[in-house]
Amino acid sequence: MVDIEDNNCNPWEIDTKKNQDPLELYFQPQITTPMPLEALYFLMQEQIRDPLEDRHILDGYNFREGNKYLILVTKESFQSKPGGISPDQVSDDVLAFCTLVLSYAKVAKKFLQPGSSPKMFTVFLPRTNFNKMLSHVSSKLRPKGDELWELFNILACYQSGGTK
């Protein structure tokens, strides 16, 4: 049991690895509140606004290599009109959804260990599940059959340099 400074919910019970002091745990702030995908995309853009500054959007603290794991999908990613969606048609909610999917997928391929989650590598941890988020953007993505897979297959291979 530990007490967290300035917290009205003390004491907290923290399960740790054997022989690990709970007071030496690193707490990573994450955005977990439900919010519109458009707002989430705005925060994602702010997170990587300056690729040389490795900061955490919530508290300004150095997020280790957090910007490296956020794969920001931009309108430029739709230059080849994947899924029939052109850059001028794609909206911020679709860009946020695509950014989350690709960020989690690419981290999972590289770093996922048993018992861990790709969600822990980014600042953004939406409480809404992917099926719910997909239902909000599906009319704009128009997925039929394997078309959603094909869209992400193209987006996953897009390269423009920097953090995009």
Look at residue 40 and tell me if it is in a domain: yes
Quick one: pLDDT at residue 164? 44
Look at residue 14 and tell me if it is in a domain: no
Please, which pLDDT band fits residue 97 given cuts at 50, 70 and 90?
very high
Quick one: pLDDT at residue 144? 65
Look at residue 20 and tell me if it is in a domain: no
In angstroms, rounded to a whole number, what is the distance separating the alpha carbons of residues 54 and 118? 19
In angstroms, rounded to a whole number, what is the distance separating the alpha carbons of residues 130 and 126? 9
Quick one: pLDDT at residue 60? 54
pTM score above 0.85: no
CA within 13 Å, CB half, 151: 25
Domains contained in the chain, number: 1
Look at residue 22 and tell me if it is in a domain: no
Look at residue 64 and tell me if it is in a domain: yes
Look at residue 148 and tell me if it is in a domain: yes
pLDDT tens by residue, 10-44: 887 766 677 777 667 666 656 666 778 898 898 88
In angstroms, rounded to a whole number, what is the distance separating the alpha carbons of residues 41 and 39? 5
Which residue range is the domain that position 95 belongs to? 30-157
**Which tops the pLDDT comparison, 3 or 67?**
3
3-state class (DSSP) for residue 89 = coil
Helix/strand/coil percentages in the chain, nearest 5: 45, 5, 50
Look at residue 15 and tell me if it is in a domain: no
pLDDT tens by residue, 53-85: 555 566 555 555 556 778 889 999 998 888 888
Look at residue 121 and tell me if it is in a domain: yes
Please, which pLDDT band fits residue 130 given cuts at 50, 70 and 90?
confident
